[in-house]
């Protein structure tokens, strides 16, 4: 849609940016421009409802938010909430405003709000999601498979892609468990005659990555060392099965978008942590729906309807904008594909 403009507004954290970019690309409105915003103190520490002049609160390292205002503004994360509201006001309502995740202000102040289902937020303009929103699409997977075919296309089947996270507020990953994961994968490759494609996240840590490297030395496949072009989409595209640690809703959601069997590894739970409840609710729902199964060191085959919340939210935005044509996939600027969380 030539001439239309969409802003993606986040604080620049990869997880937030990926969610908003995924929706923007799926909407296919037109040009997508990334706006990374960093409020100055004390505004960065305060909740959205007590930020009366949000545009003034931005620090010097923020991207400018100024006219011409976009046709669509998509925010994700608490720092974006007052800014998305301000854009809606400054544009005199011409900008359709979307807030991903729970805004912790009245949802009717936005055009659309898309929180996770476990937040139990309701309203006529609220569309809840089962998983995290993301940038995985059939088009991106096909492109990645083609680009990495010379390097990965000759690996033996079954190919198992392993997405490893790490420490967060709810779970922890240690060297002992990393070694155990690698040992399970080695045995699996020996029994099945297949290959392993393993990618760590930013939270995996050097010691855990070293343990995974040691345990998988000589096994067909590769362990990405976070150097060179990121093969993440290629792993999703070329794998027959996916194994994911349970510490990242984003990684599990992206894996379930492929429609391939997804196994979930349980990391060690931190004691007395409230944030673990959202993970447990999320995983329980996916197991009940038949999307995932616990990892037990062996492969099973099953089918399910791929998790596609991004397309659902994008379709609702297009409906509310009065657009009925299928979404395109514009290229965003200036952000690159953000790393996983």
3-state secondary structure of 97: strand
R_g of the chain computed on alpha carbons = 21
Tell me what pLDDT residue 332 has.
47
Tell me what pLDDT residue 118 has.
84
> Which residues on adjacent β-strands are paired with residue 24?
none
Fold entry, domain 138-294? Rossmann fold (3.40.50)
Tell me what pLDDT residue 43 has.
66
The CATH class that applies to domain 5-130+309-333 reads alpha beta
Tell me what pLDDT residue 275 has.
79
Spatial separation of the C-alpha atoms in residues 183 and 215, rounded to whole Å: 6
Tell me what pLDDT residue 185 has.
98
- Same CATH fold assignment for domains 5-130+309-333 and 138-294: yes
Spatial separation of the C-alpha atoms in residues 237 and 243, rounded to whole Å: 14
Label residues 259-296 b or e (16+ Cβ within 10 Å = b): ebbbbbbebeeeeeeeebeebeebbeebeeeebbeebe
3-state secondary structure of 210: helix
Instruction: Write the CB contacts of 244 (distance below 8 Å, at least 6 apart in sequence).
Output: 162, 163, 165, 251, 252, 255, 262, 263, 264, 265
Structure tokens at 133: 């929103």
Q: What is the DSSP letter of 227?
A: -
Spell out the domain ranges in the chain: 5-130+309-333, 138-294
Tell me what pLDDT residue 271 has.
83
Tell me what pLDDT residue 2 has.
52
pLDDT along the chain (341 residues), means of 10: 84 92 94 92 67 72 93 95 93 97 94 92 95 94 97 97 96 98 98 97 96 98 95 98 97 97 96 84 96 97 96 95 63 44 52
Structure tokens at 64: 């400018």
Please compute, for residue 206, the number of CA atoms within 13 A of its CA located in the half-sphere on the CB side.
0
Tell me what pLDDT residue 329 has.
46
In Å, what is the CA distance from 8 to each residue of 29, 35, 67, 144?
12, 6, 15, 24
Tracing tokens 């790393």 back to the chain, one arrives at: 339
Spatial separation of the C-alpha atoms in residues 195 and 96, rounded to whole Å: 47
Structure tokens at 96: 């359709």
pTM to 2 decimal places: 0.89
């Amino acid at each position: 849609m030539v001439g239309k403009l969409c802003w993606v507004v986040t604080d620049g954290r990869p997880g937030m940016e990926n969610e908003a970019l995924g929706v923007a690309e799926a909407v296919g409105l037109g040009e997508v421009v990334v706006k990374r915003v960093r409020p100055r103190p004390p505004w960065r520490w305060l909740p959205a409802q007590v930020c009366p002049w949000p545009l003034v609160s931005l620090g010097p390292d923020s991207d400018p938010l100024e006219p011409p205002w976009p046709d669509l503004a998509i925010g994700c994360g608490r720092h974006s909430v007052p800014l998305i509201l301000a854009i809606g006001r400054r544009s005199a309502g011409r900008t359709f405003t979307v807030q991903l995740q729970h805004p912790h202000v009245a949802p009717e102040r936005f055009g659309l709000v898309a929180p996770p289902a476990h937040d139990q937020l309701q309203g006529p303009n609220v569309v809840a999601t089962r998983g995290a929103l993301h940038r995985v699409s059939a088009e991106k997977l096909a492109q990645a498979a083609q680009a990495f075919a010379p390097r990965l296309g000759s690996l033996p089947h079954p190919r198992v892609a392993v997405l490893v996270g790490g420490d967060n507020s709810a779970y922890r990953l240690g060297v002992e468990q990393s070694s155990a994961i690698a040992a399970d994968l080695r045995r699996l490759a020996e029994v099945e005659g297949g290959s392993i494609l393993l990618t760590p996240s930013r939270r995996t840590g050097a010691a855990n990555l070293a343990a995974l490297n040691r345990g998988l030395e000589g096994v067909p496949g590769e362990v990405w060392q976070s150097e060179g072009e990121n093969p993440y989409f290629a792993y999703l595209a070329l794998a027959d099965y996916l194994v994911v640690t349970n510490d990242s809703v984003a990684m599990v959601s992206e894996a379930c978008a492929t429609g391939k069997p997804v196994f979930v590894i349980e990391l060690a739970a931190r004691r007395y942590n409230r944030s673990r409840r959202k993970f447990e609710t999320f995983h329980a729902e996916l197991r009940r729906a038949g999307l995932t199964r616990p990892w037990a060191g062996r492969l099973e085959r099953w089918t399910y309807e791929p998790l596609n919340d991004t397309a659902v939210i994008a379709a609702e935005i297009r409906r509310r904008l009065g657009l009925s044509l299928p979404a395109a996939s514009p290229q965003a600027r200036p952000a690159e594909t953000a790393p996983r969380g």
